[in-house]
Amino acid sequence: MSEDVPAVLTELAPAKLNLALHIRGRRPDGRHDIETVFAFCLDGDRVEAMAGEGLSLTVDGPFADALADGDDNLVVRAARALADAAGIPANAALRLHKKLPVASGIGGGSADAAATLRLLTRLWSIDPAHAARVAPALGSDVPACLLSMTSRGEGTGDALRLLDAGISGAPVLLVAPHIALSTRDVFAGWDGNDLGPLGEWRDGRNDLEAPARTLVPVIGELVDWLDGQPGATVVRMSGSGATCFALFDGEASRDSAAAAVPAEWWHLATVLR
């Protein structure tokens, strides 16, 4: 590479799945205590960075139109927070390729923010501890997305423990109805009933599915459709929705299901990390 061509660093922002999500209670500050298992896909958004004067962000990709590229974007907020924590200028030219739908329960902005923290830690050659320190303030899923490894989350989701769930390489199909869901609204619809702790994730549930279905009834259709696909082993909604997913017994059955997804739904056929 010629010396006058700037090096571009890139980082995947993998799609996040909640294999199970149990809500255990509501805190006085309005947040919720949860027990969940996070898993991550081999596909997702992608963030690029190169050295620059000041901080800039461009956004492209299939879902770019749904995002702003200014200070409200979590990528920009993550970059500024990391620079402040490290006591350095926020100098970087950032590019976000937005492949995943927004506000869909699969990480989205949290995954993008976490990828930005990893990326700029490398670009700026700073201590990764700075990224871990600023992640919780950016969003409850950002610490898990920063790790991007299968883990159990408790508290508000930021108390993490690595988990060997035996699912690496598992074929998975994600399906969403092109309807954005507000995480705040879905949590607000939770009925307040603690249905019990999370043990083995395969026997678990997603306590946000009921309020999400109330807001977006088509979620029920997605779950039923996935559940009816040959080879589907576990079917659930992820996070606060509206994306639903199915784990499959093999790539062939997953691909057959992917080929049959109704045209009006977004889908992604991938595997778990």
Positions marked active-site = 16, 141
> What CA–CA distance (Å, rounded) separates 245 from 222?
9
Secondary structure element (H or E) that encloses residue 245, with its range: strand 244-248
Helices 74-86 and 109-123, packing angle to 10 deg: 40
- CB-count exposure of residue 266 (10 Å: 0-12, 13-18, 19+): middle
Instruction: Show contacts of 159-166: CB within 8 Å, 24+ apart.
Output: 160/38, 163/37, 165/19, 165/37, 165/39, 165/201
Q: What are 246's two structure tokens?
A: 């199915």
18 by DSSP, 3-state: which?
strand
Q: What are 183's two structure tokens?
A: 């995480």
